[in-house]
Structure 1
Amino acid sequence: MSREPEPFQLMCGAAESPALLHVPHSSRALPEHVRDGISLGDEALETELDHITDSHTAELAARASESCAVSPWRFVNGLSRLVVDPERFPDDREEMLAVGMGAVYTHTTHRERLRPPGTRPEPLLDRYFHPYARAMTAAVDERLAATGRAFVIDVHSYPTTALPYELHGTGPRPPVCLGTDPFHTPPWLLARAEAAFAGFGGTGRDSPFPGTYVPLKHYGTDRRVGALMIEIRRDLYMTEPGGPAGPGLGALAAALAALVDGLGVRAAG
């Protein structure tokens, strides 16, 4: 029996950094028992992973961290979002339930059946979703205790052409989409991101993917927690779908580093 991959990993940064790069969708890894519960054949499953995975975003975050003067912390999901999606609400507040893509997906990006009807989400939520959420909450609490602020910078990518599951797929698809929250995204953080990514052909806001990730403990109540989602259109840095990274990855990592590197100074000010 093969060893199950690590479900997530917190990579330490500088003690004085308030920044936490969150990479939730970069992995293709599926534990055997999860793969056994998926309805797709091997070829169809690999195709779905090509479409649903934010390929190379863990490498992007790692490269950015290496080039920062003050290294941020990184929280990286070690499992595919086909196990659980840690950024969904685990209940009926989640709008993506409408297309079968809540915390535990029942359907694919092309709205085909992923899991058999009647599959219960609770075992996967208990084994993977809730421990992940507790660990992310603890990571944010640690940054607050150490620095007085925490900035969760979500690192994502999205396809050049909208997929059938997208609820907002008819809107603009800028080179870099910046997902915001009215409570947790201060104007200066948004402006800093717009400047950092200005050289890639422009940024947009909350289209095609709106919002950002904040642990529920802090969401809407703790202004010390700032948050921003970075959604990079995949044609900027890779061959779609699911292909290798190209030279754009390095430039994007430099831009991400430029965004992150001054957060400690700003927080202190």
Structure 2
Amino acid sequence: MTPRSFDLLPGAADSPVLLHVPHAARAIPDDVRTGIVLDDAALARELDHITDAHTDTLAEQAAALTGQRPWRFVNRLSRLVVDPERFPDEREEMLAVGMGAVYTRTTHREPLRPEPADAGPLVGRYFEPYAEAMTRAVAERLAATGRAVVIDVHSYPTKPLPYELHQDGPRPAVCLGTDPFHTPPELTEAARAAFARCGDVGLDSPFSGTYVPLAHYGVDRRVSALMVEIRRDAYMTEPGGPAGPDLEQLAAALAELVDTVGGAA
């Protein structure tokens, strides 16, 4: 049976906040698995490294703690199927390490799919419907509330993996990824204040940027966005192990951020 590609989970009608969870899943449809060259053990190890484990639980727990429940858009397939946060014509530096919309290399820069790989079928089947659904979800928040706040929920490993392009910068407990057009200073400051209880909070290192659907990107300031990257040793056993009790503290911090920027605080 083919797993669901994604879910839009309803929040409060008057909430502008959309928690986006793109990389929490490990599921790979059988017909996609046949195009991956790793054996089962190697694939399981790769999923341990590449998956933002428990970030769907983090978003779920945070939503339950809020005074104004946010909407949640959750990817139910592994990013090894497609990475919905890449552009189909991803910039050359990510393509150079085999991590465009359809990955051809692993986190350790080993072959994942035969090259040259035809990304078209996977982009058409998975990437484009996902992007269209996220665009609709943002448009619905704009229509309902006059604004949309996309909070991208991620995690990253304590030690850099070989695929990472920028390995020399700080790796704080919480990294906030920003966009010069879509991340206003008050959103960044609200996140700094909310996550201060969880350890050091940094900006745009080791990862920068945030997700905004292309229809709104760079043209609609009513859409604000922030990426929240949690260092994995702050809440789980690496790689791919269980979550620990600190997940609850992070969920409370994320809930505080949601209520502050959503207007419920």
**Normalising by the residue count of structure 2, what TM-score does the alignment of the two structures yield?**
0.98
One of 88, 94, 97 as aligned partner of 2:95 = 97
Q: Is the 8 A contact 1:9 1:76 kept in 2?
A: yes
- Map of 2:57 onto structure 1: 59
Q: CA RMSD in A?
A: 1.1
Deviations 1:57-112 (A, max 9, x none): 00000000001010000000000000000000111435311100000000000000
Counterpart amino acid of residue 62 in structure 2: A
- Map of 2:236 onto structure 1: 238
Q: Is the 8 A contact 2:216 2:223 kept in 1?
A: yes
Moved more, 93-102 or 182-191: 93-102
One of 5, 8, 26 as aligned partner of 2:6 = 8
- Map of 1:74 onto structure 2: 72
* 1:145 Cα offset (Å): 0.0
Query: Where do 1:1-269 residues align within 5 Å?
Result: 3-93=1-91, 95-265=93-263
Distance 1:94 1:74 in 2: 31
| Aligned positions, number | 265
Q: Is the 8 A contact 1:28 1:79 kept in 2?
A: yes
Q: Is the 8 A contact 1:88 1:94 kept in 2?
A: no
Moved more, 193-202 or 157-166: 193-202
Deviations 1:129-183 (A, max 9, x none): 0000000000000000000000000000000000000001221100000000010
SS at match of 1:84: coil
Distance 2:92 2:8 in 1: 26
Distance 1:127 1:35 in 2: 15
Shift in alpha-carbon separation, 1:244–1:187, aligned structure 2, 3 A: same
Deviations 1:217-243 (A, max 9, x none): 000000000000000000010000000
Counterpart amino acid of residue 73 in structure 2: F
SS at match of 1:197: helix
Unaligned runs of 5+ in 2: none
**Normalising by the residue count of structure 1, what TM-score does the alignment of the two structures yield?**
0.97
Distance 2:235 2:7 in 1: 24
Counterpart amino acid of residue 177 in structure 1: C
Unaligned runs of 5+ in 1: none
